[in-house]
Amino acid sequence: MARRSRHRGSDRQLHGVLVLHKPEGPTSAACLERVKRVCGQPRIGHAGTLDPLATGVLVVLLGQATKLSNYLTGADKTYVGELELGRTTDTYDIQGTETSRADWSSLTPETVAAAVTAWQDDTTQEVPAYSAAKHQGEPLYKLAREGRDAPVKVKEITIYEAEAVTLDLPRCIFRVRCSAGAYVRSLVHSLGIRLGCGAVMTALTRTQSHPFTLDMAVSLDDILAEPERLGERIIPLEHALPHWPRVALDARQAEELKRSGRLPWEAGTTDAQAFAPGQRALFLDQHGKALGLMETGIEKTGGAAVWTVLRGLWEA
């Protein structure tokens, strides 16, 4: 990934992406609150939460980078986890209350490995009762804790890859790459149902939230111990979407973009590139700093092909 930059400006708010290595235990919200308080970052968000049990990549958005949330939250995720056969809990993970036990001893490693691989056939899953998904404005976990009824919610998912990495029954270490929002503990629970003995997730690490990987992550302890180094640990806006095309503008074009919120299509293309509505790119100013996320379209008046701002990233 590209270089990291120090904060520029007179205030304390930084602008960029912090790849945090979330520890086991605290919620994602609690981790963000600690960074916000200790590092003095009033504008802070994330691009996808992790359960308290889970560790690994938590993409933290600072300042203007909070505007990137919609373009990072939907990225696919990769996890390495561990499950244990023969028992279930109300949360589908080891932190919940045990609800059943069953014999798993007739299962072979080959059978369990095949059941993990079969996750790739799943296109929907039930949302766990203990989750942050909402019903009539209230999180499901709150309704569950209070003993109130809530409808079973089903969501569409895509499992791109799934494999058993290590089998030492009743435990299995697995790797899965899935669409955003998929609940890995629900995959484990469904595997237990299919095998007839139940299963519970005992550990989970997010190794990638595309395009950010675990080897880029900084531990929460390190961040809190040295808040003065936060600026050098963030990925600046101009490098926060490496999978997007980048367009460099000259000074005149940059000022026109900030003034009108649009530019002629030719400003961001080459002669060989064909126009199509919906093309997207990250536009940079003459100094290489992020100006905005842009998209091609047709003006309603006049029918000209133009780039328009999806999200402006320049500082006022």
Distance CA 2, CA 6 (A): 13
Give the 3-state secondary structure of residue 304: coil
SS (H, E, C) 219-285: EHHHHHHCHHHHHHHCEEHHHCCCCCCEEECCHHHHHHHHHHCEEEHHHHCCCCCCCCCCCEEEEEC
Q: Which residues are catalytic?
A: 51
Q: How far is CA 232 from CA 6, 220, 226, in A?
A: 5, 15, 11
Q: Where are the alpha helices (DSSP H) in the chain?
A: 28-39, 69-72, 109-117, 140-145, 184-195, 220-225, 230-233, 251-260
CB 268 within 8 A of CB 259: no
Q: How far is CA 259 from CA 248, 253, 256, 263, 316, in A?
A: 17, 10, 5, 10, 11
Could you tell me which residues come within 8 angstroms of residue 180 by beta carbon, excluding any fewer than 6 positions away?
48, 73, 74, 75, 76, 77
